[in-house]
Amino acid sequence: MALSQLEVTGAEVYATALADRLYALGHRVFIVSDTLTKSTQADFTPLPFNKRGFRQRVRNIRFLVRFVREHRVQVIHAHSRAAGWCAYFAAWWCGIPLVTTVHGRQPTHFSRKLVKAFGDKVLPVCEAIRENLVQELGVNARSVEVVRNGVDKPRVLEVVVEKLRTSKPLITLLGRLSKEKGDLAYRLVQEIVPLLGEGAQLRVVGGDKNGIPARFDAFRPTVEFTGYVDNVADYLAASDVVIGAGRSAIEALLLEKPVIAVGEARLHGLITPETLDGALRTNFGDIDAGKHFAWETLPSSLNAALKQAQDKSNSAAIVRKRVAEEFNMEHLVSRMDAIYQQAWSEKRRYEVPILTYHRIVQSKEEGGSLPIWVTAAQFEEHLQILKEEGFTTLTLSDLASMPTLANRFRPERKPILLTFDDGYEDNYTLLFPLLQRYGFTATIFLVAGMKQNLWDKDSPDFAPTSLLTVAQILEMQRYGIDFGSHSMTHPRLGAIPLAAAAEEIGFSKRALEERLGRSVNSFCYPYGSLSADVKRLVGESGYKFGIASDSGSLFLHEDPLEVRRIGVFPNTTAARFRRKITGKYVFRGKKSH
More confident residue, 218 or 207: 218
Residue 591, pLDDT > 70, answer no
More confident residue, 179 or 62: 62
| pLDDT, tens digit (0-9, with 9 covering 90-100), for 243-278 | 999 889 999 999 999 999 999 999 999 999 999 999
Sorted by sequence, the CB contacts under 8 Å of residue 295 that are 6+ apart come out as: 187, 191, 267
Q: If we measure between CA atoms, which residue out of 538, 456, 451, 468 comes closest to residue 503?
A: 538
Burial of 252 (0-12, 13-18, 19+ CB in 10 A): buried
Q: What is the pLDDT of residue 385?
A: 98
Q: What is the pLDDT of residue 307?
A: 92
Residue 593, pLDDT > 60, answer no
Q: pTM for the complete prediction?
A: 0.88
Report helix, strand or coil for 230. coil
Q: What is the pLDDT of residue 590?
A: 66
Instruction: Supply the DSSP symbol for 148.
Output: P
Whether 132 contacts 113, CB under 8 Å = no
Per-residue 3-state assignment (H helix, E strand, C coil) for 292-323: ECCHHHHHHHHHHHHHHHHHCCCHHHHHHHHH
| pLDDT, tens digit (0-9, with 9 covering 90-100), for 86-122 | 999 999 999 999 999 999 898 887 767 777 889 999 9
The mean of the pLDDT values for the chain is: 93
Pairing of strands 241-244, 223-227: unpaired
Please give the domain boundaries of the chain with CATH numbers for all domains. Answer: 10-143 (3.40.50.2000), 158-327 (3.40.50.2000), 349-587 (3.20.20.370)
Q: What confidence category does residue 140 fall into, taking pLDDT thresholds of 50, 70 and 90?
A: very high
Mean pLDDT value of segment 58-82: 96
| pLDDT, tens digit (0-9, with 9 covering 90-100), for 442-482 | 999 999 999 999 998 888 888 889 999 999 999 999 999 99
Q: What is the pLDDT of residue 365?
A: 86
| pLDDT, tens digit (0-9, with 9 covering 90-100), for 192-213 | 999 997 789 999 998 766 789 9
What is the C-alpha separation between 483 and 466, in angstroms, rounded?
17
Residue 131, pLDDT > 90, answer yes
Residue 299, pLDDT > 70, answer yes
Whether 331 contacts 399, CB under 8 Å = no
Q: What is the pLDDT of residue 257?
A: 95
More confident residue, 290 or 427: 427
What is the C-alpha separation between 252 and 154, in angstroms, rounded?
8
Residue 236, pLDDT > 50, answer yes
Whether 98 contacts 71, CB under 8 Å = no
Residue 592, pLDDT > 70, answer no
| pLDDT, tens digit (0-9, with 9 covering 90-100), for 544-589 | 999 999 999 999 999 999 999 999 999 999 999 999 999 999 998 6
Q: If we measure between CA atoms, which residue out of 401, 385, 349, 421 comes closest to residue 565?
A: 421
Q: What is the pLDDT of residue 235?
A: 96
Mean pLDDT is lowest, of 246-260, 304-318, 325-339, for 304-318
| pLDDT, tens digit (0-9, with 9 covering 90-100), for 516-533 | 999 999 999 999 999 999
Whether 554 contacts 586, CB under 8 Å = yes
Whether 530 contacts 498, CB under 8 Å = no
Cα-based torsion angle of the residue sequence 280, 285, 286, 289 in order, rounded to the nearest 10 degrees? 90
Mean pLDDT value of segment 57-71: 97
Pairing of strands 43-46, 30-33: parallel
Q: If we measure between CA atoms, which residue out of 63, 75, 69 comes closest to residue 33?
A: 63
Q: Categorise residue 422: left if φ over 0, alpha if ψ from -120 to 50, beta otherwise.
A: left
